[in-house]
């Protein structure tokens, strides 16, 4: 595996440049994408933690990781970058995101789909996971971030 540390959630598919308030690639908010390089470690950790919590929520509803060591070994063997400190469910996402078309037996990777998803093709599941992750990020933005910006905007005009 590349021993280059992952320094940003960016996946190279930024949609904030097209006006999205939540990036369809990395699921960060537009201001987080813009300000990432000026963030301190605590701010970056907060973003990483939120993204991890939302992704784990989506992944645990779709599959079970039953062998973390096997999953990690497969990621390393296939040189798929992942954040070792994150949940194995985030690792599972990285594997599915990068190898959905090549994986035949998910169990060989230490994972099993939950019964309601066993008939799904992995590319279809990957796309569903990505959509749900995006929708949760967008809902989080609308619930917790947008009202703050609106309040700040109103205070500036008064």
SS3 assignment, position 81: coil
CA geometry: angle at 17 spanning 43 and 123, to 5°?
85
Domain ranges of the chain: 54-157
* CB contact burial 29-62 (16+ within 10 A = b; e otherwise): bbebbeebeeeeeeebeebbebbbebbbebbeeb
Q: How many residues does the chain have?
A: 158
Alpha carbon distance 127, 13 (integer Å): 14
Token digits for 32? 């987080």
| Tens of each residue's pLDDT in the chain, 158 residues | 444 566 889 887 887 777 789 999 999 999 999 999 999 999 999 999 999 999 999 999 999 999 999 999 999 999 999 999 999 999 999 999 999 999 989 999 999 999 999 999 999 999 999 999 999 999 999 998 887 766 565 554 44
Cβ atoms of 75 and 55 closer than 8 Å:
no
Angle between helices 122-140 and 88-99 (to 10 degrees): 130
Q: pTM of the full predicted structure? A: 0.88
CA neighbor of 84 nearest in space, from 109, 111, 48, 58: 48
């Amino acid at each position: 595996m590349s021993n280059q540390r992952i320094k940003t959630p960016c996946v190279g598919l930024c949609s904030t440049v097209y006006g999205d308030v939540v990036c369809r690639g990395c699921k960060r908010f537009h201001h987080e994408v813009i300000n990432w390089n000026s963030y301190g470690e605590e701010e970056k950790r907060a973003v990483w933690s939120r993204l991890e919590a939302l992704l784990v929520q989506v992944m645990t509803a779709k599959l079970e990781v039953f062998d973390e060591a096997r999953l990690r070994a497969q990621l390393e063997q296939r040189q798929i970058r992942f954040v070792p400190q994150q949940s194995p469910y985030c690792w599972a996402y990285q594997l599915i995101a990068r190898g959905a078309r090549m994986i035949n037996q998910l169990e060989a990777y230490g994972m099993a789909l939950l019964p309601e998803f066993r008939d799904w093709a992995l590319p279809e599941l990957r796309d569903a996971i990505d959509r749900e992750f995006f929708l949760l990020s967008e809902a989080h933005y609308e619930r917790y971030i947008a009202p703050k910006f609106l309040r700040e905007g109103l205070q500036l005009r008064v």
